[in-house]
Amino acid sequence: MNQFPEEQFRPDEAQGLPEQSQDSQDALAAEDQAGASDLARPEGSQPAPQPTLESGKIWENRTTKEILYGISKAKKSDYAVLRLASHDINVDGELLISKGSTVNGARILLDEGSVEGYPAMKALLKITDGTYSLLDYSATQANAMHLEQGLKVRINNLLTSLPDLPETLEELNEGAAVAKMRSFNPGDLETPPEETNKTKSLRNKGEAPPHVETAEEALQRTMPVAVIITIVVIVLAIIATIVVLSFKPTIHQP
């Protein structure tokens, strides 16, 4: 019976596999752990945090109306998400703000599902005690596309109606249009140029304003005079010629 060294019966070599180093084994273990954490991550979880433009507390000296006003004035981001959370009424959600002037979507996170659209925006802007943060999504707009709902609510309209927003989005838009009409100043219209004193006096006397003569009218008016002058010149020239010929001295030849 043949005897072989003990090293020839290593499990790795018996299966035709090369011996793995300790570093390789650690790398594989790390990959397995990362894979397990990916499987454990719930569906719909948020990606890496976005840059925070500003954050703070919502209270009587810093209402949601003042927060929206600051966003519309500063315009720090073309595509941002405003996250709002209350301390007293358990409301937690976010608004999608485009170019610092328009709210395109809103969502409230619930234990089961969510509330979206105008009802969500109305509830979030009613928060009086809580926190807020404005996140910049300009470089990663795809991460906020789930909030795109086509609301297109102007922040100026919200500022006009807050803190008591109407029940529906249609009422909000109608109220904004009425407010714009009420704020219209007739003095903004262009006034016609003032009449001169001469025009006023003529109008008061019932006289027509002076007629401005055209070039064609001027030519028709002056043409007879020009013809008469031309005829006179020709006649004078003929008379002068006759006179010269009549008084031409006679030369007597010897």
For 36-69, how does the pLDDT look when each residue is reduced to its tens digit (9 = 90+)?
444 344 454 455 678 999 999 999 999 999 999 9
The pLDDT confidence band at residue 3, using thresholds 50, 70 and 90, is very low
d(CA 105, CA 159): 17
Residue 206 lies in a domain: no
d(CA 160, CA 179): 8
Residue 73 lies in a domain: yes
Residue 221 lies in a domain: no
CA 2 to chain centre: 88
d(CA 25, CA 196): 99
- Contact by Cβ (8 Å): 108, 123: yes
- Say whether pTM exceeds 0.75: no
**Looking at this protein, which amino acid is placed at residue 118?**
Y
- Contact by Cβ (8 Å): 72, 158: no
Residue 123 lies in a domain: yes
Residue 105 lies in a domain: yes
Q: CB under 8 Å to 71, separation ≥6 — which residues? A: 80, 82, 97, 100, 134, 155
- Model pLDDT, residue 221: 73
Q: Which domain holds residue 166?
A: 52-181
Q: With 0-12 CB in 10 A as exposed, 13-18 as middle and 19+ as buried, what is 234?
A: exposed
Residue 202 lies in a domain: no
Say how many domains are in the chain: 1
Q: Which of 25-34, 58-67, 71-80, 224-233 has the lowest mean pLDDT?
A: 25-34
- Model pLDDT, residue 162: 93
Work out the number of other CB atoms within 10 angstroms of the CB of residue 64: 21
State the Rg of the chain over Cα.
47
Return the closest-CA partner of residue 126 out of 214, 180, 63: 63
Residue 192 lies in a domain: no
Residue 186 lies in a domain: no
